[in-house]
Amino acid sequence: MRWEADVALAEHTRYRIGGPTPGFGRVESRVELAEALAGLAGAPFCVLGRGANLLVADRGIAQRVFVLAGDFDVLESEAGVIEAGGGAGLPTLVGEARRTACAGWSFLEAVPGSVGGGLRMNAGSVETGLWDRVERAEAMTPAGEAVWLSPAEAGPSYRRVKVPESWIFLGARFGTTPGDAEAIEAEHFERRRTKVETQVYDLPSCGSIWKNPGGAWSGAWQLIDCVGMRGARRGDAQVTERHANFIANLGDASAEDVWWLMAETRRRVAEETGVELSPEIRLWGFTDEERAAVGARPDEGVEA
């Protein structure tokens, strides 16, 4: 594997925002990944999927970044199962489930990102996560050891798993259930239509910024509306009018613009409602103080 120096991560995220990494490398196989990890000799690293759920600081990050390609960007299906590498796209996975008339996969319709990132974030809807379809998943430790995980061992919950952040998801085997092809096609079409009508796909964004808090508030967007942040703008970043839980890049937004809107939204919500919002997106390259201001944990190194 060859490391590229000073690669701007804005080129590799859906937000089109973010500074450089000192090293950017595409790994093509398990052997190559294990060798690359050994070469880091314990130094911290990040793993980049499709950049669908990530905000990178304008200053960039100190860690080197892996992208899973080659042998990891594969997908195969047969009766009862779909096997997908960590570098494969979630749209490819859900498309294969739809094409082969597998029931129960519409929850992933119009969800971007990679399979590896989806496993890390337990991507999906509030009701159903990707791990609900996993039979087993494979990950690699920083020592280069490949480990198989069952859903019980991964401990998935809403938008997270209990797998160490330094473990890299290599892929998974998903169980499938046959269904009526026509009904499945209609269900997927309706899911996509609804999301396109109610969410923002025509501007760079990371989708939902905040996790839904539960309790009396059915969605984070209600809290954002309640404190008057729908439509709020800083620079070229804006809390969108169509969906208040999205912050879009209107053209030349900086990471600082997006972060400021997040921090201000969280501050107002906490002061006016008592609810502490928690970000659904990952943040790279921010200080502990900056992360605390938006409720982000300090140990996140892998994204969707």
pLDDT digits (tens, 9 = 90+) for 168-212: 999 999 999 999 999 999 999 999 999 999 899 999 999 999 999
Task: Please give the pLDDT value at position 299.
Answer: 64
Q: Angle, to 10 degrees, between the axis of helix 90-99 and the axis of helix 181-198?
A: 150
130 within 8 A of 108, measured Cβ to Cβ: yes
> How far is Cα of residue 232 from the mean position of the Cα atoms in its chain?
24
Q: Say what the pLDDT of residue 297 is.
A: 82
* 3-class state of residue 279 by DSSP: strand
pLDDT at 214: 81
Q: Which two tokens stand for residue 219?
A: 């969605």
Catalytic status, residue 280: yes
Segment 49-78 mean pLDDT = 96
Spatial distance between the Cα atoms of 112 and 56, rounded to a whole number of angstroms:
18
Q: What is the mean pLDDT of the chain?
A: 95
Note the pLDDT of residue 238: 98
Q: Is the pLDDT at 304 greater than 60, yes or no?
A: no
Question: In the prediction, which pLDDT does 1 show?
Answer: 86
The answer to whether the beta carbons of residues 142 and 160 sit under 8 Å apart is no
Give the pLDDT confidence of 205-251 residue by residue, as tens digits: 999 999 999 887 879 999 999 999 999 999 999 999 999 999 999 99
Under the banding of pLDDT at 50, 70 and 90, the label for residue 118 is: very high
Query: Residue 298: pLDDT band by 50, 70, 90 thresholds?
Result: confident
Q: Token pair for residue 99?
A: 């094409």
Q: What's the mean pLDDT in 246-263? A: 98
Q: Which of 106, 205, 208, 278 is catalytic?
A: 208
Smallest CA-to-CA distance from 35 within 69, 78, 4, 1 is with 1
Q: Is the pLDDT of residue 38 over 90?
A: yes
Q: What's the burial of 15, exposed, middle or buried (CB within 10 Å: 0-12/13-18/19+)? A: buried
User: Which of the residues 96, 280, 300, 303 is marked catalytic?
Assistant: 280
Token pair for 303: 């994204």
On the question of pLDDT at 300 being above 80, the answer is no
Q: How far apart are the first and last CA of the chain?
A: 22
* Interior angle at CA 27, CA 24 and CA 29, nearest 5: 170
Residue 295 pLDDT > 50, yes or no? yes
State if pTM tops 0.85. Answer: yes
Cβ partners under 8 Å of residue 237, min gap 6: 247, 248, 249, 250, 253, 254, 257, 258, 260, 261
Do 54 and 13 touch, CB atoms closer than 8 A? Answer: yes
pLDDT of residue 301 exceeding 60 = no
Q: Please state, in angstroms and rounded to a whole number, the distance separating the CA atoms of residues 139 and 221.
A: 34
Q: What is the spatial distance between Cα 6 and Cα 264, in angstroms, rounded to a whole number?
A: 31
Q: Are 147 and 171 in contact (CB under 8 A)?
A: no
Domains of the chain in sequence order: 7-70 (3.30.43.10), 74-183 (3.30.465.10), 220-293 (3.90.78.10)
Burial of 293 (0-12, 13-18, 19+ CB in 10 A): middle
Give the C-alpha separation, 207 to 53, whole Å.
7
pLDDT value, residue 218: 77
- Interatomic CA distance for residues 167 and 140, integer angstroms: 5
Please pick, among 50, 159, 191, 266, the residue that the annotation labels catalytic: 159
Contact between 64 and 43 (Cβ < 8 Å): yes
Q: What is the pLDDT of residue 57?
A: 98
CB burial of residue 294 (10 Å; 0-12, 13-18, 19+): buried
Based on the residue annotation, tell me whether 165 is a catalytic residue of this protein. Answer: no
In this prediction, residues 290-294 reach a mean pLDDT of 97
Q: How far, in Å, CA of 256 to CA of 244, rounded?
A: 19
